Chains A and B, each alone.
Chain A
C-alpha cells in the first residue's frame, strides 16, 4: 500500500496535467476558431465514425446473409434507406407490428411496419410523426435487455439514422438480419434463438447535449447516447424472428498451435466466411482469471499488429507470434502491495489464454466484420 492518499496523488497528477499544458495559446486558438481557420477534424466526426461502424455492420450483414437481390423496388441493395429521395410508403412494408409513444412529447409516435415474423433478412419500415423538424433518431438492433445504444455493455448493431422532415415526420426502411454482429462483444448474435429489439434513440446534432429543454424524445431521461451510464434504457421494440429462418455460414476465426520448434511461441490464425480484403489482427494473451467479460480482462500482453489479406473465398491463414511474458499488476496480498512476477506463458500454458483481436479503427479493416472469438489456451512450449 502506498503511503499517500488518493487526493494527494490526484493533486500531484493535476499539477502534472497543467504543466503539460504549458505554452497553450488560448488567443491563437480563439483566433483560429473565429477566423474560420479552425475546422472540425474529419476523422473524429462522430457521424462519420458511426457511418464507418454502420459500414462494418452492413458488411457483416452481407457476409452473414449473403449478397442477395435487392428487395426494394429501387434495387439499391442498401440496408438502410431514409426518405431523402422518393417518399417511402411505410404501409407497403406490412402492418404495424410495434408502436412507441413518447413519454415526453404528446403526439410523438414511432411505428414499425413489417412482417409479423421476421426472416433471415427481412425489411421493415420505421415511421415517426409528431417530431421536431430536423431531429435525428438513431436506430439499432440489439439483444435484450435494452440499454443505451452506446453503453459499453450493450450488444447492438447500429442501423442508421432517421432524420425528421419539415412536416415532423420521417420514415426509414431497414433490413434486419436474423444474425447480427454486435459491437460488444464482437461476435454474431442470433435473434432466432435470443430475444432482440429495435431501439429508437434520440440524437441531438452530433455529440451535442440536449440543452434547450424542448426535447422531442422517446425517453424521459436526457440523451443517453454518449455519456449514458446504462441506468436509463433506450426505448425499444421487441423483434420476432422466425426460429427456422436460414442464414448463410457465420464468419469464424480460429487459433491453433504450431507444432515443432516454434511450439509455444507461434500460433496459426485461420478465418472463414469473411468479407474479402484487408483485415488487421493481433494476438492478445491474458491470464486465465478473471474470466470475461472482455473489458475486465487483466493483466494482458499484446502481440504485433498484422494486416492479412482475406481472399475472394472469404478465408485467410496467418501465423502470429505469441505475446510472452505477461506482466502482472501490483496486487494487495496479505495486506501488502506486491508485484507478482511476470508469467512466462510458454512455460506455464495453464495460466494463460489467447485471443485474436480485430483491430478497430484501422483503415485496413473498413467493411470487415468485427469478430472476437472465444479465448483458447496457450500452447505448451
Chain B
C-alpha cells in the first residue's frame, strides 16, 4: 500500500464500550488466536491490526453490537484462515513434515512439543481448527464459540469433539477430558 488512506476520526461510541476499551481488552487475545491459526507472529499482528482497523472504520455500526469483540474475532479468524488458504499444497506438505520432525525429538521425553501441537491444529479443517483455538487459547465455552463461528451450539460442540479426537489421534496422546 503506497497511499495513506483517509481514516475517519473515532466515532462516538454508540454502546457502552469505546473502541479503545474494546481494543485494549481484546487485542492480545485476537493476536493470540491469529498466531495459533497462522503460526506466524508477524502475520498474526497484521491480521489483528486489519480486523481492528475495520472495526474502527465501522465503529458506528460495530460499536452497537452487543459484543464487538466477537465481531473482531470473527473477522480476524476469517483473515487468518484466508492466509492459511493461501498456503500452497507443498507448503502444507512441508508443514506436515516439519510436524513429524519436531514431534520426533520430543516424543522420547513423553511430551508433545508446543509447535508440534499447533502444527497439528493447523492441519485440522477450518471450523474444527477455529473451535479448538478458541477453546484452548481463550478458554471459551461452547456458547461463545458458537456465537463467533455463527453456528448452533450443537454444531460447535461437534466441531470441538471432532477436533479433539483428531488431535489426539494425530499426536498419539490420550483424550482424557470431555468437552465442557
Contacts and interface: CB of A to CB of B under 8 A. Distances in A.
A14 B50 contact: no
Contacts of A2: 107, 110-112, 171-174
Given A4-B173, A227-B127, A229-B155, A30 B20 contact: yes
B137 A152 contact: no
A305 B145 CA distance: 39
Contacts of B16: none
B152 to A, nearest CB: 10
Interface in A263-311: 282, 284, 286, 294-295, 297-302, 305
Contacts of B88: 357, 359-362
Contact of A330 (B52, B62, B96, B103): B103
Contacts of B168: 6
Given A17-B118, A29-B48, A359-B88, A36 B174 contact: no
A117 to B, nearest CB: 35
Decide if the interface of chain B is mainly helix, strand, loop or mixed. helix
Contacts of A1: 172-174
Interface string A10-39: 111111111011001011011011111011
Contacts of B36: 17
Given A29-B48, A40-B54, A227-B81, A20 B90 contact: no
B171 A29 contact: no
B177 A5 contact: yes
B140 interface: no
A328 interface: yes
B126 to A, nearest CB: 6
Interface string A180-220: 00000000000000000000000001011111100000000
Interface residues of A, number: 79
A46 B96 CA distance: 26
A34 B18 CA distance: 12
B180 to A, nearest CB: 11
Contacts, number: 235
Interface string B125-169: 111001000001100000000000111000100010000100110
B53 A38 contact: yes
A214 to B, nearest CB: 11
A42 interface: yes
A330 B120 CA distance: 13
A16 to B, nearest CB: 3
B12 interface: no
A35 B45 CA distance: 17
Contacts of B28: 21, 24, 26
Interface string A316-350: 00000000000111111000010100000000000
Contact of B90 (A211, A228, A305): A305
Interface of A: 1-7, 9-18, 20-21, 24, 26-27, 29-30, 32-36, 38-42, 44, 46, 49, 150, 152, 205, 207-212, 222-223, 226-229, 231, 282, 284, 286, 294-295, 297-302, 305, 327-332, 337, 339, 357, 359-362, 372
Given A13-B118, A14-B136, A226-B81, 15 more contacts: A2-B111, A3-B111, A5-B173, A12-B112, A17-B114, A36-B4, A39-B53, A44-B47, A207-B75, A209-B71, A229-B151, A284-B93, A300-B96, A301-B97, A359-B88
